[in-house]
């Protein structure tokens, strides 16, 4: 096989076992990690939950973005009363 073909195959995200979607868009059942973490860019808190617990509380088809945002919002300390300013800003790279 030509080298260009091997380079293309190895650059494919599937070759490294990476998911097709960013982690925040994956359903809980599709995420390979055992501990899920999301950090707030506003208050720098990190919230984590075990995947098994997240599936138990929110179901296997729940999207991690929605679950993570809900976990951050439940303990958010930045409440101004204005909808545009309230809440945490999730960082999914945690």
Residue range 20-50, pLDDT digits in tens: 778 888 999 989 889 999 998 888 888 899 9
Give the three-state DSSP class for 16.
helix
Neighbours of 54 (CB within 10 A): 21
In total, the chain counts a number of residues equal to 94
What's the whole-model pTM score?
0.68
Return the beta strands (E) in 15-92 as ranges: 35-40, 46-50, 90-91
Residue 83 neighbours by CB under 8 Å, 6+ apart: none
Mean pLDDT of 71-89: 71
Backbone angles phi, psi at 27, to 5 degrees: -75, 155
């Amino acid at each position: 096989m030509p080298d260009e073909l091997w380079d293309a195959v190895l650059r494919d995200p599937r070759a490294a076992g990476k998911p097709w979607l960013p982690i925040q868009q994956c359903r809980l059942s599709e995420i390979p990690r055992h501990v899920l973490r999301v950090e707030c860019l506003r208050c720098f808190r990190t919230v984590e939950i075990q995947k098994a617990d997240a599936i138990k509380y929110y179901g296997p088809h729940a999207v991690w973005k929605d679950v993570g945002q809900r976990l951050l919002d439940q303990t958010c300390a930045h409440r101004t009363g204005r909808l545009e300013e309230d809440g945490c800003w999730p960082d999914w790279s945690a």
